[in-house]
Chain A
Amino acid sequence: MAERIGDSTPRLTGQALRITAGEPEFVAKVEELSGENLYACYQCGKCAAGCLFADHMDFLPNQVLRLVQLADESVLTSRAPWVCASCLACAVRCPKGVDIAKVMEALRLLSLRQGETGLRWAEIPPGVPQIALVGATRKLTP
């Protein structure tokens, strides 16, 4: 498992991409679901710099992308995709044209389709409007 923010020996960027004949299945799946070219990312960090929710993420958006490139499936247990609100600030700013929100959506869906949920029904605050409930259930439940 890769180190998370704050760990003493971050080795996320120390790992080399292994170029093999076939793409790992996990990477191919994320690429297919997101429709994005994951290898376009060159780790400039602009997405993370402008992300309004990065403070609440265990991995920054660019790190999430790196973990996917490395086919590190532990990224599926990351909190980051659940915190991402699809505000698309990163998507319009990425100099390589990668829509990271789509990668986050793909990771959420891979978990949701395994039966995970990002919404605890019992903890839904009272009085939230329909527009918020529909949005949250569409994004955070299978």
Chain B
Amino acid sequence: MPDAKNPSPITHHPSRIPYFPGCALKDQAEAFEESARAAMAALGYELAELPRWNCCGTVYSLATDDLMRHLGPVRNLVRVQELGETRLVTLCAMCYNTLARSSRFVGADPERLERINAFMDEEADYRGGVEVLHLLQLLRDEVGFEEIEAKVKKPLAGVRVAPYYGCMLLRPREVGIDAPDSPEVLEALFSALGAEPLDFPQKAECCGAYQTVSDPEIVRERVREIVSAARRAGAELIATSCPLCQFNLETHQSVAHHPSPITVVYFTQLLALALGVPEDKLGFAGLKFDPRPLLSERELV
């Protein structure tokens, strides 16, 4: 394990940040990871994949006695500690929420942490103190939207995009990256990219999440409301940060309800596009509804 006081110059370059992908980014959301890495490279940052990462558990346990459910997240925090690092950045909104909440949960009570540490045989004890960040926080608070604006090579002029936050970036308040009912971080980012962000009332509403497995009809209803509202606001694209929202909004958009579906992109795809990342690294081919016809009309691809 590297010495925290004498870090190696490779892992501790300030622009090289440990990154937690999670299952979706290696599966149905490869476009999210690919575009994020390319965009961050254009901004001078490297997202360095965390060694030996494991599933975060996807949903945070809300029970007081379910310590076992925090084991997965804590193991990932131990991996960060092993690198001698103190920060972990995530892209998936669900991973962000689960890791950030578990980190706070064990940090708040030494007894909980002691029990989890006692259970882990292979790993060193987790000492606490790893900060879990979402990429949007890094972009807003460290890179800065002015800096991003200055690096835009292809302004997304006239692209009308509805930012869709969903739940896990915003709630609960203690881990929310923005105001839970009136977030603006995605709007500010899209403005910096030259696009036209649109406000719509459903931007922080739940898509139905994992009910897509147990009760898809509920999700179809939710998606109809969210997509209709975005359409009414004049959206040509919906942009999100959650692979499950993205899946639900794509899969449960009813073609019967409206003949032309709205493309649902990851916010990093728009970021990468505006920063001049080549088209083959934007992951547009991996989406169900290809945004390229729209973007080529605007001479962006």
A-to-B contact residues, CB < 8 Å:
32-35, 52-53, 55-56, 82-83, 85-89, 91-93, 99, 101-102, 104-106, 109, 118-120, 124-125, 127-136, 138-140
Is the C-beta of B297 less than 8 angstroms from some C-beta in chain A?
Answer: no
B-to-A contact residues, CB < 8 Å:
22-24, 27-28, 55, 57-59, 61-66, 69, 92, 94, 167, 170-173, 176, 180-181, 205-206, 208-216, 218, 221-222, 243-244, 247, 251
Asked if residues B171 and A89 are in contact (CB atoms below 8 Å), the reply is: yes
Asked if residues A92 and B173 are in contact (CB atoms below 8 Å), the reply is: yes
In the assembled complex, the Cα of A104 lies from the Cα of B211 at a distance in Å of: 15
Which of B94, B167, B215 has most chain A Cβ within 10 Å?
B215
Report whether over half of chain A's contact residues are helix, strand or loop; otherwise say mixed. Answer: helix
Asked if residues A83 and B210 are in contact (CB atoms below 8 Å), the reply is: no
In the assembled complex, the Cα of A34 lies from the Cα of B286 at a distance in Å of: 40
Which of A99, A119, A139 has most chain B Cβ within 10 Å?
A139
In the assembled complex, the Cα of A33 lies from the Cα of B77 at a distance in Å of: 25
Asked if residues B218 and A136 are in contact (CB atoms below 8 Å), the reply is: no
Asked if residues A140 and B62 are in contact (CB atoms below 8 Å), the reply is: no
Partner pick for A132 among B55, B62, B170, B210, CB 8 A cutoff: B210
Asked if residues B62 and A136 are in contact (CB atoms below 8 Å), the reply is: no
Known pairs A33-B65, A129-B27, A129-B247; A138 contacts B59 (CB<8 A)? yes
In the assembled complex, the Cα of A86 lies from the Cα of B211 at a distance in Å of: 11
In the assembled complex, the Cα of A18 lies from the Cα of B188 at a distance in Å of: 53
Q: Smallest CB–CB gap between B65 and chain A, Å?
A: 6
Asked if residues B58 and A135 are in contact (CB atoms below 8 Å), the reply is: yes
In the assembled complex, the Cα of A57 lies from the Cα of B222 at a distance in Å of: 15
Report whether over half of chain B's contact residues are helix, strand or loop; otherwise say mixed. Answer: loop
In the assembled complex, the Cα of A138 lies from the Cα of B214 at a distance in Å of: 12
**Complex contacts, A124 vs chain B, CB 8 Å:** 213-214
Asked if residues A125 and B213 are in contact (CB atoms below 8 Å), the reply is: yes
**Complex contacts, B58 vs chain A, CB 8 Å:** 131, 134-135, 138
Known pairs A92-B171, A99-B172, A133-B213; A32 contacts B64 (CB<8 A)? yes
**Complex contacts, B211 vs chain A, CB 8 Å:** 83, 85, 136
**Complex contacts, B243 vs chain A, CB 8 Å:** 129, 131
In the assembled complex, the Cα of A139 lies from the Cα of B94 at a distance in Å of: 14
In the assembled complex, the Cα of A106 lies from the Cα of B64 at a distance in Å of: 9
Known contacts A33-B63, A134-B58; 5 further A-B pairs (Cβ under 8 A): A34-B62, A52-B222, A105-B63, A109-B63, A125-B213
**Complex contacts, B55 vs chain A, CB 8 Å:** 134
In the assembled complex, the Cα of A81 lies from the Cα of B58 at a distance in Å of: 19
Asked if residues A135 and B244 are in contact (CB atoms below 8 Å), the reply is: yes
Sample (26) of A-B pairs whose CB atoms are under 8 Å apart: A32-B64, A34-B62, A35-B64, A52-B205, A85-B206, A85-B208, A85-B211, A87-B167, A89-B205, A91-B172, A92-B176, A92-B181, A109-B63, A125-B213, A130-B27, A131-B23, A131-B24, A131-B243, A132-B209, A132-B210, A134-B23, A135-B210, A135-B244, A136-B211, A139-B59, A140-B210
Asked if residues B69 and A138 are in contact (CB atoms below 8 Å), the reply is: yes
Asked if residues B62 and A102 are in contact (CB atoms below 8 Å), the reply is: yes
Asked if residues B64 and A87 are in contact (CB atoms below 8 Å), the reply is: no
In the assembled complex, the Cα of A7 lies from the Cα of B211 at a distance in Å of: 27
Partner pick for B57 among A83, A91, A134, CB 8 A cutoff: A134
Known pairs A87-B171, A92-B181, A140-B214; A106 contacts B27 (CB<8 A)? no
Asked if residues A131 and B244 are in contact (CB atoms below 8 Å), the reply is: yes
The 3 closest A-B pairs by CB, nearest first: A135-B210, A87-B206, A136-B213
Identify the closest chain B residue to A141 (Cβ).
Answer: B214
Identify the closest chain B residue to A120 (Cβ).
Answer: B214
Asked if residues A135 and B28 are in contact (CB atoms below 8 Å), the reply is: no
